[in-house]
Amino acid sequence: MIVVMRKNSKEQDVERVRERIEDMGLKAHISKGSERTVIGVVGNLDRDKLSLDPVAILSTDKSVDRVYPVTKPYKLASRENREKDTIVKVKDVVVGGGNFTIIAGPCSVENRQQMIETATGIKKCSAKMLRGGAFKPRTSPYTFQGLGEEGLKLLKEASKLTDMPIVTEVMNPKDLDVVLKYADVLQIGARNIQNFSLLKLVGQTDKAVLLKRGMSTTIQEFLMSAEYVMSEGNGDVILCERGIRTFETATRSTLDISAVPVLKKETHLPVLIDPSHAAGKRDYVPALSKAAVAAGADGLLIEVHYKPEIAVSDAAQQLNIKEYCELVKELKKIAEAVGKSID
């Protein structure tokens, strides 16, 4: 952090600011220029002082002109803190570290046949984990809300049959215990990305957490949400860009493909793309999926249904098994071109 003192500040003003810096456990490096004094602040806040906001505290001093933060507000999630990519292991599946991992499955768990047919179909085409929502965050309270625990049981049955770990959303802290009984990865949906009490709770579990970027969440806010989970002791966080809200209405959301290189620079956590919720229409899903591989994402979270035409939620954006398998063939070529493999 750089503290720029006001032009007319005196020796005792600089000393007072130095003391405030040192009281927070940080170090002050003072440079006196011909016009102004600039103080470089280095060091990390002690754990018991993490709630302090040094930029805000120092900005209140009457002799301080400006304060520039140079370190990131997210600590555990930042590349500054850990250079090496985090690899999240879920049973035998790895996410991150040069692998391209496909998580596929329907939007909602609907019934036994749907789950078994979809899971066995995607398993043949490189899917490594099975997704499906049993608690659904629907815009309307009058539409299908998910089967709850019944849905989790169906997910489990399909997961056992195909040997694919389960990724499923937990929406409400009161459902966490039941979701924990079945899920291998806890999904936090776009609408809950800043539900900080839910983030803290999943941070206290030993399950990997898949965080979906909110539709109006900046990348910095997204990483602060990851920080909430990690600060509770759970470092197994997977990020997922799923489109943000812009003025464009041709697609359901606008896939922020630049989030991939930005996140790759800012954090060591794995980054997935969800082309389905971004596109909202199945025709656009292949192109966005290909862009994800080319841009350096660590995998996809993609909606596939054995019969999308009868899906009870997100019917327009789900691929059928054949479309999905054809897409994976294409993705393999792009993966090879960028030095990754999809097996």
Q: Which amino acid is at 75?
A: K
Structure-block tokens of residue 254: 């606008």
d(CA 166, CA 80): 32
Binding residues for ligand PEP, per CB under 6 A? 107, 133, 137, 169, 189-191, 212, 242, 277
**Piece of 40-48, 142-150, 158-166, 312-320 that binds Mn ion (CB under 5 A):** 312-320
Q: Which of 169, 275, 314, 321 binds Mn ion (CB under 5 A)?
A: 314
236 contacts which partner out of Mn ion, ligand PEP, none, CB within 5 to 8 A by kind? none
Query: Which of the listed partners (ligand PEP, Mn ion, none) does 189 bind, with a CB threshold of 5 to 8 Å by partner kind?
Result: ligand PEP
Does 110 bind Mn ion (CB under 5 A)? Our answer is no
Residue 294 near residue 338, CB atoms below 8 Å: yes
Planar angle of CA 137, 139, 144, nearest 5 degrees: 65
Helices (H), 84-218: 112-123, 149-162, 176-182, 196-203
Instruction: Give the residue with the Cβ less far from ligand PEP, 212 or 340.
Output: 212
Between 43 and 137, name the residue whose CB sits nearer to ligand PEP. Answer: 137
Secondary element (H or E) of residue 185 = strand 185-188
Among Mn ion, ligand PEP, none, the one that 241 touches (CB under a kind-dependent 5 to 8 A) is none
C-alpha–C-alpha distance, residues 194 and 335, integer Å: 33
Q: Tell me how far, at minimum, the Cβ of 198 lies from Mn ion, in Å.
A: 19
Q: Give DSSP secondary structure letters for 244-313.
A: B--S--SSSSB--TTHHHHHHHHBSS-EEE-HHHHH-SGGGHHHHHHHHHHHT-SEEEEEB-S-GGG-SS
- Looking at the Cβ atoms of 20 and 213, the one nearer to ligand PEP is 213
Is the Cβ of residue 38 or residue 178 nearer to ligand PEP in the bound state?
Answer: 178
Which of Mn ion, ligand PEP, none sits in contact with 128, Cβ below 5 to 8 A by type?
none
Q: Choose, by CB under 5 A, the member of 76, 104, 107, 312 that binds Mn ion.
A: 107
Please identify the residue of the shown chain whose CB is closest to the bound ligand PEP: 189
Q: Which residues bind Mn ion (CB under 5 A)?
A: 107, 314
